[in-house]
Chain A
Amino acid sequence: MLTGNAAAAWGVRLANVDYIPAFPVTPQTEIIETLSKWINDGVMDAKFVTMDSEHSMITAAGAASATGARVFTATSSQGLVYGFEMLYTIAGWRVPLVMINVSRGLSSPITLEPDHNDILATRDTGFIQIHCEVCQEVMDSILIAYRLAEDERILLPVLVNMDGFHLSFTREPVELPIIEQVRKFLPAYKPNHAFFKASQPMAQGVAVLGGYAYSYFKYQMHLASKKAIEVYREVSEEFAELFGRTYNTVETYMADDAECLLIMTNSFTTMGKAAIERARARNIKAGLLRLRLVRPFPEADIIRFVKRAKAVAVLDQNISIGKGGIIYSDVASTLYNEKEKPVLLSFISGLGGKNISIEEFEFIFDSLVKAVDKGEISPPQLLYTEAELIEINRLKNIVGKEKHYKFESGD
């Protein structure tokens, strides 16, 4: 039994990483503590250094990666956005760094529990993003991530995401692979492009003058990222052959004949799957699609499953203030030019670790059924339960706001 954090640390140990610059932040810290202990105990041959901030940490990680070492680092939430500038920078260096983000709602208000505004804020940086549902997947994804990042056709850094608390601190059975199998899947890193050495001076990260040069390098990154979908398929097939666990770009649950499809990401998907079973018990042909690869966005795979459904709901655990759900927008633009497409509904819940209740899932499926049966399309919904409203009003009373604002759902 391993927590998500421990599973992450095991992934890093198995990957034979050379270098780990770190900086503590809840709820990621257990990962770096575990690695630091292993290194100090001599069971892992790597160098560990605690930096002065996440900004410095990501810089050191990128620079070491540019020197030719296999590098890992981890952060969460505030830390990820503190180092934001460097995510763009080192992705532009085309270095094969693998990094974990343990999702946690962004300040303010400051909080500890998860949502995905942190990781999704980095979606345009050039990092490939793999989002995980369970602890086993976290460990496996790290191995897959190095294969992707170091592939000559990609050479982009990878962020592996897991939810804070729900995954980071939850113990689940995790199967540790045999090391020989891991070596077969992920051989020692032999960089062809990333190096600093005396015999061959090289300038990296240099300035360009003119939009034509800048655009060229940005387009290259985009094309490499798009290419990563194909490479991802190859790599995950190989992984499945060796380890018996299959990780497609999207994971489906009872989706084959689903008329009402729910799209989610990360650990709350487990709750979504339970909701699918309840909906099926109510005779709703429900199914679920979980996005595992979020960048590059696996458009073809999404279209393939989504087109079979009559109505689709995207449940975003993030909010682009003034617009709405981020994944919803991505899915909508993916479908826009399809001739036949289902209706697409947007729901937001689970911000800052807010529970997604049974009623909320029921509300989502009722809305989908209404859309299918009566053609009633509900506007984007911000989900919140009666009980939660009573509770927040109680807190507001304590701070002296006696007026009870009436809560309105929807736009």
Chain B
Amino acid sequence: MVELIPIKSIKDIPFDENLFPGTPACAGCGGLLALRHCLKVLGKDIVIVNAAGCFTLLSIYPFTPFKNSWLYTAMACAPAGAQGIRDALDILIKKGKLDPKEDLKVVVLTGDGAAYDIGLASTSGAINRNLDFYYICYDNEAYGNTGFQWSGATPLASKTGTTQPGRLSPSGAEFFKKDLFEIWRSHKPPYLATISPSHPVDLHNKFKKAEQYKGPKLFINLSPCPPGWATEPSHSTILAKLAVDTGIWALKEAIYGDIKHTHIQKKFKSIEEYLKEQGRFTHLFKPQRQESVINKIQERVNKYWHSVQEYTK
């Protein structure tokens, strides 16, 4: 294995773009910003296998914003599509029907609805079969493309189209966010990480590190989503950073299941700073402050970090 020299500053990020502007994604889409960085590291010799979600609309006949190849599958089965392409490339190369120079990296790109819910089984299958692929989940914590409804990735108390605070149920989504990182980690994939568009250097280094491994290389990106989160498009990066600074989005990686946090803060900001910024949580503060719900969220974050060795030692 070649020794990796991590980059230190944003200036070291390649200048070349593999994702061009002018897409139909919303202004300030945190997922798109992260994807742009991912593609800078992955290069153009890739094929993206996409599941139904916001980014399905990036490639609309006859246009595509990518330098690379693309296959849209359906909502539940992008990892299965990746399996078909990877296996086909391998067998064609083995049989001498395809020049090895033509080989591509296979990259699954889905939102949280596909990753956390409908596509969980096909992802589990692909990881279990040790498929050599990348998975980028742009997690905006709801079904964004259909107008922001509750998904398994929606955090406690978030307002969505199907968890609207009302008289009987004033606090929005009633469940905690599913822990996809842990579900994926239970498969012990060679590489697994969380990323954020606010930390492109961390993102870059993680992809570089992942490149050394054969097998599943999985990434979950917390993706601020201005229309769904009811935030200013220009605030997306600030929000992504706030998520890290408050500790609600832990930046970490797991190599064959062993976790390491890649960003530790001595003191985290209060979760309120993050919640208050977003329209989807305003009902927690107005017309009445829902102290118990806010505490519940804060306690969950505290509990998480107390279980993290690097933090407590």
Which chain A residues have a beta carbon within 8 Å of chain B's beta carbons? 18-19, 21, 45-47, 49, 51-53, 55-57, 59-69, 71, 85-86, 89, 196-199, 201-209, 213
Contact = CB atoms under 8 A, between A and B. Distances in A.
Contacts, number: 154
Contacts of A49: 83, 87, 129
Say what secondary structure dominates the interface of chain B.
mixed
Interface stretch (B89-97, B178-186, B222-230, B290-298): B89-97
B147 interface: no
A185 B122 CA distance: 37
Contact of B71 (A19, A47, A204, A213): A204
Contact of B70 (A47, A53, A204): A204
Contact of A55 (B59, B80, B82, B92): B80
B19 interface: no
Interface string B142-172: 0000000000000000000000000000000
B71 A60 contact: no
Interface string B100-132: 011110000000000000000110110001000
B136 interface: no
A300 B10 CA distance: 68
Contacts of A47: 87, 90-91
A85 B97 CA distance: 31
Contacts of B254: none
A379 to B, nearest CB: 42
Given A53-B122, A55-B76, A69-B92, A207 B84 contact: no
A204 B49 CA distance: 10
Contacts of A56: 77, 79-80, 83, 121-122, 125
A60 B67 contact: no
Interface string B42-76: 00110101000000110111001011111111101
B73 A59 contact: yes
Interface residues of B, number: 46
Contacts of A61: 84
A199 B104 CA distance: 10
Given A65-B84, A199-B102, A207-B59, 9 more contacts: A52-B122, A56-B77, A56-B121, A59-B74, A66-B84, A69-B92, A196-B89, A198-B102, A206-B59
B67 A63 contact: no
A56 B123 CA distance: 10
A52 B124 contact: yes
**Residue from the set B49, B66, B85, B101 with the largest chain A CB neighbour count within 10 Å:** B85
A63 B83 contact: yes
Given A86-B77, A203-B66, A204-B71, A63 B88 contact: yes
Given A18-B95, A67-B84, A198 B45 contact: yes
Contact of B87 (A19, A45, A57, A202): A19
B98 interface: yes
